[in-house]
């Protein structure tokens, strides 16, 4: 079965054994497992959606916000999208064995830097059951094993999806323990997973700041945080007004409950009175609750904008609410973003290349957009097939965590009898 009845340590040990086998698996075998996963997802879409309906109806999901319920919900279209993502991963080049560098040393040794799997990746995540398949696909293709620990309120969905990945691995002749699900245990289980030194090579928490804080208190294994997104759209004085309207609306409402949705709109003081009424009217018509500083409220015209508190500039709403501020030029916009943003995704709308370059170089974020929505920060959109999350850290990986971010490297030296004098 997909949800293991073993202890956390036993599960991680089983994953470690599977990792050694899948690390040397052929590209053909890994792709066969992925193709089987995609096929089984489509064949059992009804069963998956049925399991998900059970999760949505369960009392454990009763208190979730609308945004979290949207993240939890699976539809036939979303299951089909998962299958499509798995096939994209199968079609990508295998990162394992990729040669990163080669040189001949003075000793005559042929030295090569080669990409290899990390080993066992553990992922802790909230709400979104599609993460189960995204993670499994990326770790299978990159030659890793994965230990999944989802939310208790998504337990049925995650179990159904993990079972499919395990069945597909077995069908391809690979160890099914390369994908293991722990279900949705309590804080003790989380702490145990975060301290599996020697068994877990990388832990990736994907969730809110509360999950991040809980992991930080106990972890003894390497951690890559898939962090929250307090993202901004800055409408510069030289922005095309219609483009600005489209981008601001898309960045906020296309899917407001995700980490790359914009939470704050910055308006350049030079055009705020002219641009604000139309942009804010679009947002209000889409159901967005607006709060802003005094200048933004004055520029809003007939659109209702409530007063923003200090906490609003640092909030990831994950819903239909947005903070609005007026800034005096690009430097103040950059300063605001760097003070309040989480380093996820930031956007500027401008026709001025010099201003765009200043924003790109000045903003400290994993992804920066010029004349485009922040909603594009996504492994699928970036051609990675899927992602485990978006890292806002600066060591090892930044931005979407795809296959290559789940690898490390080793140096391989070949000689003909050299010894060091």
Is 90 in contact with 403 (CB distance < 8 Å)?
A: no
Main-chain dihedrals φ then ψ at residue 410, nearest 5 degrees? -135, 155
User: What CATH number is attached to the domain comprising 45?
Assistant: 3.40.605.10
Residue 420 lies in a domain: no
The secondary structure of 251-302, three-state, reads: HHHCCCCCCCCEEEEEEECCCHHHHHHHHHHHHHHCCCEEEECHHHHHHCCC
User: What CATH number is attached to the domain comprising 247?
Assistant: 3.40.309.10
Residue 383 lies in a domain: no
For residues 334 and 309, membership in a common domain is answered with yes
> Is the predicted pLDDT of residue 38 greater than 60, yes or no?
yes
What is the structure's pLDDT at 150? 92
**Listed range (10-14, 289-293, 383-387) with the worst mean pLDDT:** 383-387
How much is the pTM? 0.87
> Is the predicted pLDDT of residue 2 greater than 90, yes or no?
no
The three-point CA angle 84-252-396 to 5° equals 60
> What is the rounded average pLDDT for all residues in the chain?
94
Nearest alpha-carbon partner for 197 in 224, 171, 220 = 220
CB-CB neighbours of 238 under 10 Å: 16
Residue 175 lies in a domain: yes
Distances (CA, A) of 290 to 242, 325, 405: 20, 11, 37
Pull the structure tokens for residue 350. Answer: 């401008």
For residues 59 and 159, membership in a common domain is answered with yes
**Residues facing residue 145 across a β-bridge:** 120
> Is the predicted pLDDT of residue 142 greater than 70, yes or no?
yes
Pick 143 or 209 by higher pLDDT. Answer: 143
What is the structure's pLDDT at 1? 40
For residues 329 and 351, membership in a common domain is answered with yes
Give the residue-averaged pLDDT of 193-198. Answer: 96
Residue 50 lies in a domain: yes
For residues 220 and 238, membership in a common domain is answered with no
Buried b (16+ CB within 10 A) or exposed e, 5-34: eeebeebbbbbbebbeebbebeeebbbbbb
For residues 93 and 107, membership in a common domain is answered with yes
Domain range for 358 is: 231-376
For residues 215 and 237, membership in a common domain is answered with no
Q: How far apart are CA 189 and CA 166, in angstroms?
A: 22
Give the residue-averaged pLDDT of 358-383. Answer: 96
Residue 310 lies in a domain: yes
Main-chain dihedrals φ then ψ at residue 398, nearest 5 degrees? -145, 135
């Amino acid at each position: 079965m997909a949800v293991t009845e073993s202890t956390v340590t036993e599960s991680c040990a089983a994953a470690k054994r599977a990792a050694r086998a899948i690390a040397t698996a052929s590209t053909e075998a890994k792709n066969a497992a992925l193709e089987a996963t995609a096929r089984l997802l489509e064949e059992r879409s009804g069963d998956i959606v049925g399991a998900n309906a059970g999760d949505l109806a369960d009392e454990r999901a009763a208190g979730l916000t609308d945004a979290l319920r949207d993240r939890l919900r699976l539809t036939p279209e979303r299951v089909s999208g998962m299958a499509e993502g798995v096939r994209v991963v199968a079609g990508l080049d295998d990162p394992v064995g990729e040669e990163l560098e080669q040189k001949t040393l003075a000793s005559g040794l042929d030295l090569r830097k080669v990409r290899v799997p990390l080993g066992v990746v553990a992922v802790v995540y909230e709400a979104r059951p599609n993460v189960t398949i995204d993670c499994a696909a990326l770790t299978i293709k990159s030659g890793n094993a994965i230990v999944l620990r989802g939310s208790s309120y998504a337990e049925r969905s995650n179990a159904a999806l993990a079972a499919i990945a395990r069945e597909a691995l077995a069908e391809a002749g690979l160890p099914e323990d390369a994908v293991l699900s722990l279900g949705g245990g309590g804080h003790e289980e989380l702490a145990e997973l975060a301290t599996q030194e020697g068994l877990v090579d990388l832990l990736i928490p994907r969730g809110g700041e509360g999950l991040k804080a809980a992991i930080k208190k106990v972890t003894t294994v390497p951690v890559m945080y898939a962090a929250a997104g307090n993202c901004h759209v800055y409408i510069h004085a030289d922005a095309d007004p219609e483009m600005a309207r489209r981008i601001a609306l898309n960045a906020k409402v296309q899917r407001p409950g995700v980490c790359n949705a914009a939470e704050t709109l910055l308006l350049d003081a030079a055009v705020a009175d002219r641009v604000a009424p139309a942009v804010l009217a679009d947002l209000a018509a889409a159901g967005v609750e607006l709060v802003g500083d005094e200048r933004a409220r004055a520029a809003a015209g007939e659109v209702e904008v409530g007063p923003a508190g200090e906490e609003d500039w640092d909030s990831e709403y994950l819903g239909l609410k947005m903070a609005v501020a007026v800034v005096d030029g690009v430097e103040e916009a950059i300063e605001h973003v760097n003070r309040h943003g989480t380093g996820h995704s930031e956007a500027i709308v401008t026709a001025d290349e010099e201003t765009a370059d200043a924003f790109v170089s000045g903003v400290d974020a994993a992804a920066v957009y010029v004349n485009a929505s922040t909603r594009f920060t996504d492994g699928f959109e970036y051609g990675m097939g899927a992602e485990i999350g978006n890292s806002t850290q600066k060591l090892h990986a930044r931005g979407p965590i795809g296959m290559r971010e789940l690898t490390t490297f080793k140096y391989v030296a070949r000689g003909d009898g050299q010894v060091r004098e």
